[in-house]
Structure 1
Amino acid sequence: MTKSPSPSAPAAPDLRIVEQRVYRGPNIWNYEQAIHLVVDLGVLEDYPSNTLPGFTDRLIEWLPGLQNHVCSRGKAGGFIERLREGTWVGHISEHLALQLQNEASHDLRRGKTRAVRGTPGHYNVIYAYVDERVGLAAGELAVRMINAGVAADESFDFETELDDFLRLAQRTAFGPSTSAILEEAVARDIPFIRLNNASLVQLGQGVHAQRIRATMTSKTGALAVDIAGDKSLTNTLLSSAGLPVPLSDTVRTEDGAVMVAKSIGYPVVVKPLDGNHGRGVGINLRNEAEVRAHFPVAAEQSRRAIMVVESFITGNDYRCLIVGGKMQAIAERVPAHVIGDGNHTVQELVEITNADPRRGVGHEKVLTRIALTEGSEALVRNQGFAMDDVPPEGTMVKLALTGNMSTGGISVDRTFDAHPENVEIAEEAARLIGLDVAGIDFICPDISAPVRETGGAICEVNAAPGFRMHTHPTVGEPQYIAKPVVDLLFPPGTPSRVPIVAVTGTNGKTTTSRMIAHIMKGLGHQVGMTSTDGIVIDERLVKRADASGPKSARMVLQNPRVDFAVMEVARGGILREGLGYDRNDVAVVTNVSADHLGLRGIDTLEQLAAVKRVVVEAVPRNGFAVLNADDPNVRDMRRHCSGSIVYFSMQPPGSPERQFIDTRLRRGGRAVVLEPTDRGEMIVIKHGRRSMQLAWTHLLPSTFGGAARFNIANAMAAAGAAFAVDVPLHDIRQGLRTFATNYYLSPGRLNMLDVKGISVVVDYCHNPAGMRALGEFVDNYATQKEASVDNARISRIGVIGGTGDRRDDDLAELGAVAARYFDVIVVREDDNPRGRPRGESAEHVLRGINECIAAGEARTRHVDTVLAEVDAVRHAMVLANPGDLVIAAVDKHARVLAELEEMSNSAYAGSRADEERTGDPDLDPVELNEAAAVSAEEARSDYTDLEPETAEPEELLPQT
């Protein structure tokens, strides 16, 4: 669509980036990783591309590849049509960022641009990336290009900018060997995680993980690498096994090199004992003078100042690649050279050769540019030419003595030409050294003839050999050698992934995650779990922090003990970085209620549900989503799931929710439901026509005799997830029967303890929906307790507080809901007020309580405000009498439980220093406070609502 602008100011280079975000997994915009820029068009909001003279032609001149972009037209050239008809520069920056990455050999096509709702001139620009540093740099360069295209800028030199960008891409890119292995891994659906800025990569997840660094693998022995790095020792071992090797010895001095050379007989080779890539190698040295001249060159490349002097073997240079003891490829390496044409000088021939688009800097491309050095010029002189001489047509002028690709050499594939005896020798050499991946260097007249007859020999055995000469030979067919390497790490049929269960929702996700982890632990799994309390590996807390974000998920998947992962997924982490992994086998959504609204552009329940359904969209076709059928926003997520659905519902038979489920069951679906009986409610798992009784709700410890209705729902969700991963019914039942809400299995979630006759419950309730559920529990539990003690009246005392980053009305609603359930309320605040002045959050909670009292709807008869959390709990305990019920809805539950532990001690005085207190060492307040201080910054990194936002997504649509 063409816009008819009515500009209020002349066009100016006004485009700027307001915000950058990197999604490292499925996210609200796309199923895969993406870069998200928020850009401000400024006055360019009034200037679509067709109103900017010369703008389109300038972009095409800079990046001709834009002509291949289809855009919304579905055909090549579609984006150029959009440019000429008129489109906005936010959309243009998306295409430029993609094309710039394509210039760096990153094959990318996915992107979208959407206006930021409520902020004119601001746009969300989303595009794919391979390396996040390159992706971000592409977005920044795209903005500079647009501004320079709008108004000529003499300081902007596109060629220089592009060269700088490509050099960045080359520095951050994987080398050709690593890339080949990763491409094969991706083709087999093996996930990978880059562990550093170089080539250290983890393939697979958890207990199945293997690591590679270039072509060195987890199975490569350190001793074998050491042996291969010692050329003298390698020679000795191969010779002792009867394999053909040159005569050699090691020396430390120039005189020693001359002495060995005379003993062996000229010509000789002098090279560093611990060298690589052909650096410092001098070959065909024919006399003492040449040996002495080359010795300092070799010494400069040696770390240990030890040189090898060996007999010179005449012939061609062949590299045999051995993987897992079997020959996989052979390449003939031809040193860097030029061929005379009778018209150009040697210097000009080098320039012509380097102009080959296949040649680049270092390992950037399949061939390396030839670099002229003093050594290469000396070699040319030895062949009777100067650099400005014109060699006769057909004359080969060598520019290097060794055939390494890194010095500009070329390769010829000779995999199927090798004589079987030579193949056997190469394989035996790799086995002798002990390398799983080895490069065996042969020097012989012809690899197709037995080297024992032609006089050839093995001159080197290399650990971590490069693959480039085999995957991209200059002449011949490429060999797909990454396959046997991946076969070595993951034999066919070997798993590479651990099952991942992702749990999200407004309330109940932490308890549900713990229930699932407890069930799987009972089956013998070593479960890695993330939650708002930290990272737990095999029931051991390894990191105390809010760990419900993507960074924590990656930490779990990197742990070599984990064979099953349960991820609590928070809304904030999804908005900031995505999921942090590519997919989850099971997604559990407990509910969606009004919490965190008004933050990061999420203002409605529908938008919040769209964020949380990312875990459902990340379910593969063979996976499951466990959805709360009683919540319409959750129930509607079924339309976004590629896999199967397991519903759970607490509604009785005949209700609309149960009718919805019954319809699905008739089609073979799965569900977890409640069936009322004379003896109580029974949790039942249904699969098509099959109906399997699981457990009585009142016999599950976590439900407190059925009083905690929300834990019944959590147990049903956990049962659905376990059933989806084929856990036997008995083990699901046993897991739920043995899961209790004590501090050791479920810290901070409905932990009940007796403090001198007062029943105290510690919970993390912090929003109106959670308070409503907690209030219902208080009603049910107090009623049970009153009935058991001759109808005695039990006072209900609540300690409540709202989170400072919630809306004013949300805080007031929290207070109003609490006022309906508690006789006495003590209003507190979190330690972190989240940007509010101290006491402001409490004032809004208090306002809601007073409004409820004024409306005559409150049970509350007394309200106090004590801002400090521990002080508020102490105050509530002073107000309580034996037999009363105190509900402490707190933020730092460990600190509060430590205080309550002290109170239960008969010697408690309430005023002793923390270091003097006694009690459970796991609840030691000093240790807990120190740990909290250490991890505060880490906790903030996974909590996403602390920074002000400048722009938010306009819409949260299903990804396409």
Structure 2
Amino acid sequence: MSQDRPTPTEPAAPDLRILEERVYRGGNIWSYDPAIHLVVDLGVLEAYPTDTLPGFTDGLLELVPGLANHSCSRGREGGFVERLREGTWLGHVAEHVALALQQEAGHDQRRGKTRMVKGRPGVYNVVYGYTDEGVGLSAGRLAVRLINHLIAPDEEFDFAEEFEYFLRRAERTGFGPSTQAILEEAISRDIPYIRLNSGSLVQLGQGVHAQRIRATMTSRTGALAVDLAGDKDMTIKLLGSAGLPVPKQETCRTEAGAVEAARGIRFPVVVKPLDGNHGRGVGLNLMSDDEVRAAFAVAKEESRGGWVIVESYITGKDYRCLIIDGRMRAIAERVPAHVIGDGTHTIEELVAITNADPRRGVGHEKVLTRISVDEAAIERVGDQGFAMDSVPEPGTMVKLALTGNMSTGGISIDRTFEAHPDNVEIAEEAARMIGLDVAGIDFICPDITQPVRETGGAICEVNAAPGFRMHTHPTVGEPQFIAKPVVDLLFPPGAPSRVPIVAVTGTNGKTTTSRMIAHIFKETGKKVGMTSTDGVVIDERLVIKADASGPRSARMVLQNPRVELAVMEVARGGILREGLGYDRNDIAVVTNIAPDHLGMRGIDTLEQLADVKAVIVEAVPRNGFAILNADDPHVREMRNRCSGSVIWYSIQPPDSPERAFIEKRLRRGGRALVLDPTDRGDMIVIKDGARTMQLAWTHLLPSTFGGTAMFNVANAMAAAGAAFAAGVGLHEIRQGLRTFTTSYYLSPGRMNLINVRGTEVFVDYCHNAPGMEVMGTFVEKYADAKAATSEWGKISRIGMVATAGDRRDQDLRDLGAAAAKFFDVIVVREDERLRGRKPGESAALIIEGARAAQQAGGARVRQIEEVLDEVAAVRHCVARANPGDIVVLCVDNHARVVSELESITQAAQARANERGGDLDVG
């Protein structure tokens, strides 16, 4: 919010605009929970806080009265109104209006914040919670339009009409009351959920523990049982065969057949579609052939198969018995939509009065549905001897619908604890006969408190996916918490619903660390789902080949029914774009924070980048762990954001400040992985307080190339820390690290060593200056160790260098300068996707940095060459190399590069075979 308040005269035309919209589907930089993020520009309205806008506050409260309940920062009801009258900026108002509109749609959201965008006066970040993202976005857009309208009225903007449309959209896209009730119960038990479509198909739980629901159908609802319940003729036959009370019934396809059936059954009768629902197409209490003919046409129109049922009309009250897992959980008496005469108002006026009840809304948005006056309702009124302009006598009940469905405006009365035990037993037996785990049994009888076999009555229908609203929000009586037995059915008490999630982030090393963690757990027998920059891997099978380090890929892993543990590589871009995609991770691993991707999406400094990466640390619960690199000062600071425990790791020597930092925490009972140098090499040691456990020699881990690749030593320590936190035994961790190699099979594009014509070629994704520094240090150590035993004489180092074009100019120069320190020959290429730069522009900046380092002295590089095409650059590097040389290829498309290297090797072998001699290494 701006601090200096100008003295405006009269606001110009309002131009509050939404510049950007984002939907966070998990933890994010603004909130632990899913949120909508709008970037709004107040334009000239930045100069006009609310107390300078005459009539604005009163007009806003008149249209959105729910704002009066908002506490805002005052912490008490009415606090936001105080802020409005004292003066607050319109971005803040948009936040509260968006929340209030969602509350009107039945989505109880209260979380929000508004902050000015740094360095952009008048531009604000407006962040608020949502239940359904479509409704949340619509609320934000409508809020902005309403604010502009209140400042300068727009003749084309009708808020009442727009608000009605908003509510109807919310009703279409939001969860229905039944689904919402189940989800609220699941949330209360810490069971996560994922919405699978725009309807009511939802996954509860994760991975192998996942169950699905569609409204009140569950993963355990049998398809055959649903078919039987939908076939009303077969339902009645099955129930009748079990000795349960059912009406007489016949099915027919023709009008004549319906009339004949009605005569056989004897009037009065009911005509309804064989496979209908929600009471559509039902004709009740039909007394003549003509009425049957008329009702047949309506029922056939609603029947998908063209079959119509004629059955005996059972008199009595309409009861819905809800059976879950074989037991009766609730009973509701359903009363059709109606009005009660008062001797003053017409039926039309009485309907309007009834619909004014705040409990009534559009569709399923509220506990009751508004009564709709359509042709069928007018006809029903006429059947009772009234017209819509008639004034009924006081106490006279006028029905506007035949059936008691809530969706047509009916009401419900809770009768759960009044039913006679015999009736309860009949309802439970009916559900068992059909085979439904969740069933709605429709009873028609004079009184549910009396045995139906004695008083008369029958079961008219058995419904799959019965609605819960009449039970959870009865018009009269106590609500029944029927979602609990549904969730108990899917997740019995004590049953797990989550799979462990290990999230890995950092500037460099996160992909290799993720693969190491997945490999360790695979060695323990777990089926691991993993996301990475290479794709989605399920149980070692690459199922999607793409950059899959974002939230969408994370949800794909959690939806897979084979996954027992998830390893998520989390990238900066995904966090900023959509958040994490899940609510929490049990273990967070942060490898390092280094200059990369700066200058993008408002991230300009290492501190800001660290704030983004720290989201996974903030997503660690109290019983979780953060595995943090003590050698990186920005990562060390993340300890203050972790609700769980911290396990440190460091590759620095015992006399370093980093080790002193760790030792201090070990004395307090902390845990860490460190390197203990010995005459035989470096030993990775796990320290748990005062206890020390030796894990592995670094030179015996294949991924470290004899202990020379210190970055992979660090990655191995991070992976071991994650496994240790998850309770994996030391032997399993040790075995996992010893069997993990940087082969193309286990770690494509990460330190793959390929021998090409006597030349050792490393294929890696190294693409920034910090990564080049650690890669160059490795090459130096590796070359020195190789030179001591080499038969080839002097060893040259050739590097193919490139990075993405969307990096800052200085980042590209720094990459070139770093490469110049370690390689004799640098071949500069470009990615296939230039990301906004012209051909040759990125390469020129890298070369500029390399030449500057060369001219400054101290650089190793002798030759700097440009070959823009990746494959051509690979061929050029290999052609330049002599036997015994080291070539490092920093690649974009690793599959294409490895394929090219294989082709070069095969061609050389073919030439050697033709000559009958050794492999051509010239």
Does the 8 A contact of 2:586 with 2:624 survive in 1? yes
Answering whether residue 306 of structure 2 is matched by residue 293 of structure 1, we say no
Cα deviation for residue 590 of structure 1 reads 0.2
Aligned residue for 2:104?
103
Aligned residue for 2:348?
347
Aligned residue for 2:439?
438
Answering whether residue 519 of structure 2 is matched by residue 518 of structure 1, we say yes
User: Structure 1 652/34 Cα, relative in aligned 2: closer, same or farther at 3 Å?
Assistant: same
Answering whether residue 202 of structure 2 is matched by residue 204 of structure 1, we say no
Aligned residue for 1:128?
129
**Within-5 A mapping of 1:713-862:** 713-789=714-790, 792-862=793-863
Q: State how far apart, in whole Å, the 2-side matches of 1:832 and 1:750 are.
A: 23
Aligned residue for 2:115?
114
Answering whether residue 413 of structure 2 is matched by residue 412 of structure 1, we say yes
Q: State how far apart, in whole Å, the 2-side matches of 1:907 and 1:860 are.
A: 29
- Residue deviations 1:420-467, cap 9 Å, x none? 111111111111111110011111111111111112211111111111
SS in 2 for 1:587: strand
Cα deviation for residue 57 of structure 1 reads 2.1
Does the 8 A contact of 1:11 with 1:47 survive in 2? no
Aligned residue for 1:386?
387
More displaced 10-residue stretch of structure 1: 399-408 or 607-616: 399-408
Aligned residue for 2:481?
480
Q: TM-score, normalised by structure 1?
A: 0.93
Cα deviation for residue 907 of structure 1 reads 5.0
Give the aligned residue type for 1:646: I
Cα deviation for residue 696 of structure 1 reads 0.4
Does the 8 A contact of 1:323 with 1:436 survive in 2? yes
SS in 1 for 2:577: helix
Aligned residue for 1:694?
695
- Residue deviations 1:48-68, cap 9 Å, x none? 222222222222222222222
Higher RCO (C-alpha under 8 Å, 6+ residues apart): 1
Give the aligned residue type for 1:529: M
Aligned residue for 2:623?
622
Q: State how far apart, in whole Å, the 2-side matches of 1:282 and 1:850 are.
A: 89
SS in 2 for 1:905: helix
Aligned residue for 1:400?
401
Aligned residue for 1:64?
65
User: Structure 1 58/369 Cα, relative in aligned 2: closer, same or farther at 3 Å?
Assistant: closer
More displaced 10-residue stretch of structure 1: 129-138 or 728-737: 129-138
User: Structure 1 909/57 Cα, relative in aligned 2: closer, same or farther at 3 Å?
Assistant: farther
Aligned residue for 2:153?
152
What percentage of residue pairs aligned between the two structures are identical?
Answer: 72
Q: State how far apart, in whole Å, the 2-side matches of 1:751 and 1:246 are.
A: 75
User: Structure 1 397/44 Cα, relative in aligned 2: closer, same or farther at 3 Å?
Assistant: closer
User: Structure 1 99/412 Cα, relative in aligned 2: closer, same or farther at 3 Å?
Assistant: same
Aligned residue for 1:469?
470
Aligned residue for 1:886?
887
Aligned residue for 2:330?
329
Cα deviation for residue 6 of structure 1 reads 5.3
Cα deviation for residue 790 of structure 1 reads 6.0
User: Structure 1 341/18 Cα, relative in aligned 2: closer, same or farther at 3 Å?
Assistant: same
Cα deviation for residue 26 of structure 1 reads 0.9
Answering whether residue 363 of structure 2 is matched by residue 362 of structure 1, we say yes
Does the 8 A contact of 2:574 with 2:580 survive in 1? yes
Does the 8 A contact of 1:11 with 1:150 survive in 2? no
**Within-5 A mapping of 1:549-560:** 549-560=550-561
- Residue deviations 1:260-297, cap 9 Å, x none? 22222222211111111111112222232322232212
Cα deviation for residue 372 of structure 1 reads 2.8
SS in 2 for 1:22: strand
Q: State how far apart, in whole Å, the 2-side matches of 1:383 and 1:202 are.
A: 47
Q: State how far apart, in whole Å, the 2-side matches of 1:446 and 1:660 are.
A: 76
Does the 8 A contact of 1:175 with 1:364 survive in 2? yes
Does the 8 A contact of 1:669 with 1:688 survive in 2? yes
Aligned residue for 2:224?
223
Q: State how far apart, in whole Å, the 1-side matches of 2:195 and 2:394 are.
A: 49
State the 4+ residue runs in structure 1 displaced beyond 6 angstroms: none
User: Structure 1 378/818 Cα, relative in aligned 2: closer, same or farther at 3 Å?
Assistant: closer
Aligned residue for 2:452?
451
Give the aligned residue type for 1:184: E
Aligned residue for 2:377?
376
Does the 8 A contact of 1:2 with 1:85 survive in 2? no
Does the 8 A contact of 1:170 with 1:364 survive in 2? yes
User: Structure 1 366/8 Cα, relative in aligned 2: closer, same or farther at 3 Å?
Assistant: closer
Aligned residue for 1:257?
258
**Within-5 A mapping of 1:942-953:** none
Q: State how far apart, in whole Å, the 1-side matches of 2:387 and 2:111 are.
A: 52
**Within-5 A mapping of 1:74-113:** 74-113=75-114
User: Structure 1 398/12 Cα, relative in aligned 2: closer, same or farther at 3 Å?
Assistant: closer
Cα deviation for residue 487 of structure 1 reads 0.7
SS in 1 for 2:788: helix
- Residue deviations 1:685-727, cap 9 Å, x none? 1111221111000000000000100000000000000011101
Q: State how far apart, in whole Å, the 2-side matches of 1:348 and 1:435 are.
A: 43
Aligned residue for 1:242?
243
Aligned residue for 2:424?
423
Does the 8 A contact of 2:279 with 2:403 survive in 1? yes
User: Structure 1 854/83 Cα, relative in aligned 2: closer, same or farther at 3 Å?
Assistant: same
Q: State how far apart, in whole Å, the 2-side matches of 1:328 and 1:73 are.
A: 43
Give the aligned residue type for 2:328: M
Cα deviation for residue 791 of structure 1 reads 8.7
User: Structure 1 153/599 Cα, relative in aligned 2: closer, same or farther at 3 Å?
Assistant: same
More displaced 10-residue stretch of structure 1: 95-104 or 735-744: 95-104
Does the 8 A contact of 1:359 with 1:366 survive in 2? yes
Q: Which runs of 5+ in 1 are unaligned?
A: 911-960
Aligned residue for 1:562?
563
- Residue deviations 1:897-918, cap 9 Å, x none? 00001111145799xxxxxxxx
Aligned residue for 2:919?
none
More displaced 10-residue stretch of structure 1: 783-792 or 692-701: 783-792
Cα deviation for residue 9 of structure 1 reads 8.6
Number of equivalences: 910
Give the aligned residue type for 1:465: P
Q: State how far apart, in whole Å, the 2-side matches of 1:791 and 1:258 are.
A: 102
Cα deviation for residue 188 of structure 1 reads 0.7
Give the aligned residue type for 2:153: A
- Residue deviations 1:34-81, cap 9 Å, x none? 111111121222222222222222222222222222222222232222
SS in 2 for 1:356: coil
User: Structure 1 382/98 Cα, relative in aligned 2: closer, same or farther at 3 Å?
Assistant: closer
Answering whether residue 648 of structure 2 is matched by residue 647 of structure 1, we say yes
Q: TM-score, normalised by structure 2?
A: 0.97
Q: State how far apart, in whole Å, the 1-side matches of 2:95 and 2:3 are.
A: 18
User: Structure 1 365/733 Cα, relative in aligned 2: closer, same or farther at 3 Å?
Assistant: same
Does the 8 A contact of 1:3 with 1:86 survive in 2? no
Give the aligned residue type for 1:406: S
Instruction: Please tell me the root mean square deviation across aligned C-alpha atoms, in Å.
Output: 1.6
Aligned residue for 1:673?
674
SS in 1 for 2:485: helix
Aligned residue for 2:186?
185
Does the 8 A contact of 2:757 with 2:908 survive in 1? no
Q: State how far apart, in whole Å, the 1-side matches of 2:550 and 2:341 are.
A: 62
Cα deviation for residue 383 of structure 1 reads 2.8
Aligned residue for 1:548?
549
Q: Which runs of 5+ in 2 are unaligned?
A: 912-922
More displaced 10-residue stretch of structure 1: 46-55 or 265-274: 46-55
Cα deviation for residue 133 of structure 1 reads 1.4
Aligned residue for 1:600?
601
**Within-5 A mapping of 1:497-512:** 497-512=498-513
SS in 2 for 1:297: helix
Cα deviation for residue 735 of structure 1 reads 0.4
Q: State how far apart, in whole Å, the 2-side matches of 1:857 and 1:156 are.
A: 69
Give the aligned residue type for 1:172: T
Give the aligned residue type for 2:406: M
Does the 8 A contact of 2:255 with 2:296 survive in 1? yes
Cα deviation for residue 361 of structure 1 reads 2.4
Does the 8 A contact of 1:686 with 1:692 survive in 2? yes
